[in-house]
């Protein structure tokens, strides 16, 4: 593991250990997610409507593409 | 990237895919180029959307490079934006894989077949949602069981001296059982919960955080007592084994 990533992870793990309680997981099943409008990697603005297929969408939140 | 590998399968289910992080479009363009990512990577610089979802990781001290990261997780929403399902881990270093979500959410065939065992009473086919894993990842293990004609096994919760089917495995998440059928046994005037025909058992497995790259073997057993319309057979335990390949985490950074 890179030193940078190790250091960041270590900070997060320590802080998580200090933080109390369960993590927040956002809107509950059955509730609606907030609207969003964000640029993608090609600079194209995307919304839920623009990414959704016929049944909806899988929206993945992740830490970072950079470390 | 695992999500990219599963993209066609996810899209086949009518779902679009987008991944959101606090990175800039430039970092995401570089990342997408290096990894051949074709679905939208959305740039939530300033973490406004992460905050709007209510999943900002507030445990990270201000000024840290990680300030603004979300609690990682996945939502499946319908076309109106209503949450149909969501997958979040309590533990920061563990995460759900797309293949695991496909198996769980849609009963998709688990991607990596493992073994088939046959006894006098049934056939068991085991599989994993993916055989290539990384430490901390959560995958789904499945057992597709087909009982021979007229055979049944007992479902959990059965009372009396009957032995319910049991998937024995250390350090794994709980087993998901299908709905059982109530079988009336006229001879002894009892009604008992059973499984018959074909059914699937499923459970998640989190790859240990300390798992080193290389082969990882998971072992367990399936214990059951089978009966047909005439007699009950001696309880048996069938050995189960999954062989996974642990890959190293990606360490490359955007330039």
Let me know if B86 is exposed, middle or buried by CB neighbors in 10 A (0-12, 13-18, 19+).
Answer: buried
B124-157: per-residue pLDDT in tens? 989 888 888 888 888 889 999 999 999 999 999 9
The verdict on B240 and B117 lying in the same domain is yes
User: In this predicted structure, what is the pLDDT of residue A9?
Assistant: 54
User: In this predicted structure, what is the pLDDT of residue B95?
Assistant: 65
> What rounded mean pLDDT belongs to chain B?
87
Q: B224: which 2 tokens? A: 């059951």
3-state SS class at B242: strand
What are the angstrom distances between the C-alpha of A8 and each of A49, B13, B30, B64, B65?
A: 35, 37, 21, 8, 7
DSSP B79: T
Q: Is B85 left (phi over 0), alpha (psi -120 to 50) or beta?
A: beta
Least confident of A11-25, B43-57, B83-97, B167-181: A11-25
Which CATH number covers residue B85? 3.40.30.10
Q: Please tell me the pTM assigned to this model.
A: 0.62
The verdict on B52 and B93 lying in the same domain is yes
Residue A3 has pLDDT above 70, yes or no: no
Could you tell me if B10 lies within 8 Å of chain A, comparing CB atoms? yes
Could you tell me if A45 lies within 8 Å of chain B, comparing CB atoms? no
Smallest Cβ–Cβ distance between A66 and the set B10, B50, B253 belongs to B253
Say how far apart CA B125 and CA B118 lie, in whole Å: 9
Could you tell me if B213 lies within 8 Å of chain A, comparing CB atoms? no
| Chain B residues closer than 8 Å to A26 by CB | 53-55, 73, 75, 86
Residue positions counted in chain B:
255
| Chain B residues closer than 8 Å to A55 by CB | 13-15, 78-79
Other beta carbons within 10 Å of B101: 24
Q: B202: which 2 tokens? A: 């499923």
Band of residue A22 on the pLDDT scale cut at 50, 70, 90: low
B178-232: per-residue pLDDT in tens? 999 998 877 778 889 999 999 999 998 989 988 999 999 999 999 999 998 888 8
The verdict on B61 and B116 lying in the same domain is no
Residues B178 and B199: beta-carbon distance below 8 Å: yes
Does B255 reside within a domain?
no
The verdict on B101 and B119 lying in the same domain is no
Q: B57: which 2 tokens? A: 């990781």
Residue ending a domain, among B79, B106, B133, is B106
Q: A42: which 2 tokens? A: 């090609």
Residue B82 has pLDDT above 90, yes or no: yes
Residues B75 and A26: beta-carbon distance below 8 Å: yes
ipTM: 0.77
Q: A54: which 2 tokens? A: 């016929």
Say how far apart CA B248 and CA A55 lie, in whole Å: 34
Residue ending a domain, among B59, B86, B106, is B106
Say how far apart CA B20 and CA B74 lie, in whole Å: 10
| Chain A residues closer than 8 Å to B211 by CB | none
Residue B202's contacts (CB-CB under 8 Å, 6 or more residues apart) are: B103, B104, B140, B141, B142, B143, B175, B176
The verdict on B151 and B228 lying in the same domain is yes
- A62/B21 Cβ within 8 A: yes
> What rounded mean pLDDT belongs to chain A?
77
Q: Domain containing B35: what range?
A: 2-106
The verdict on B63 and B165 lying in the same domain is no
User: In this predicted structure, what is the pLDDT of residue B91?
Assistant: 58
DSSP B73: E
Q: Say how many domains are in chain B.
A: 2
Mutate to test the interface with B, among A41, A47, A53, A67 (most CBs of B within 10 A): A41
The verdict on B157 and B60 lying in the same domain is no
- B37/A33 Cβ within 8 A: no
Band of residue B167 on the pLDDT scale cut at 50, 70, 90: very high
Could you tell me if B37 lies within 8 Å of chain A, comparing CB atoms? yes
């Amino acid at each position: 593991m890179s030193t940078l990533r190790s250091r960041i992870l270590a900070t997060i793990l320590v802080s998580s250990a200090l933080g109390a309680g369960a993590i927040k997981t956002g809107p509950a099943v059955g509730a609606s997610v907030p609207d969003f409008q964000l640029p993608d990697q090609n600079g194209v603005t995307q919304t839920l409507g623009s990414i959704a297929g016929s049944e909806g969408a899988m929206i993945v939140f992740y830490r970072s593409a950079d470390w | 990237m695992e999500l990219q590998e599963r993209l066609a399968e996810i899209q086949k289910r009518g779902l679009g895919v987008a991944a959101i992080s606090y990175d800039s479009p430039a970092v995401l363009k570089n990342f997408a180029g290096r990894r051949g990512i074709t679905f939208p990577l959305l740039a939530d610089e300033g973490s406004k959307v992460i905050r709007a979802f209510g999943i900002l990781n507030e445990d990270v001290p201000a000024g840290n490079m990680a300030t603004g990261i979300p609690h990682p997780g996945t939502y499946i929403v319908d076309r109106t934006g209503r949450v149909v399902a969501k997958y979040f881990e309590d533990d920061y270093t563990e995460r759900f894989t797309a293949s695991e979500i496909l198996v769980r959410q849609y009963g998709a065939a688990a991607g990596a077949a493992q073994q088939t065992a046959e006894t006098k009473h049934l056939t068991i086919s085991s599989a994993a949602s993916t055989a290539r894993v990384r430490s901390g990842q959560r995958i789904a293990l499945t057992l597709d069981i087909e009982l021979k004609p007229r055979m049944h096994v007992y479902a959990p919760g059965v009372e009396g001296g009957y032995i319910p089917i049991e998937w024995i495995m250390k350090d794994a998440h709980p087993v998901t059982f299908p709905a059982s059928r109530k079988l009336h046994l006229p001879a002894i005037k009892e009604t008992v919960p059973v499984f018959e025909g074909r059914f699937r058992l499923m459970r998640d497995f989190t790859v240990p955080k300390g798992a080193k790259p290389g082969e990882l073997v998971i072992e367990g057993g399936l214990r059951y007592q089978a009966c047909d319309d005439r007699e009950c057979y001696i309880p048996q335990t069938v050995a189960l084994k999954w062989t996974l390949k642990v890959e190293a985490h990606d360490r490359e950074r955007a330039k």
